[in-house]
Amino acid sequence: MAKALIGYMSSDLRTPAHLTAENARLRARVRELEDLVLSLKTENDALVTAHTADLDTSMQEMQPA
């Protein structure tokens, strides 16, 4: 059983070039998606602030004088 597990696991300590390239590509994609999430959060916060200000203005106009 131990021989089967050892044979299953890669005994080569060097990472093949295609795996290194794929890893770098995936890390870059993760950074890109994290940046997108951050920009969408910022945009959403701005929209919520604007909407809240509109609601506050509407509520003040609805108040009797």
Q: What is the mean pLDDT of residues 2-21?
A: 69
At residue 28, the pLDDT reads 97
Angle at 32 between CA 29 and CA 37, to 5 degrees: 125
Each residue of 18-59: pLDDT tens digit? Answer: 888 999 999 999 999 999 999 999 999 999 999 998 887 777
Q: Which of 46, 26, 22 is nearest to 34 (CA)?
A: 26
Q: With bands split at pLDDT 50, 70 and 90, how would you rate the model's confidence at 2? A: low
Q: What angle do CA 14, 18, 21 make, to 5 degrees?
A: 100
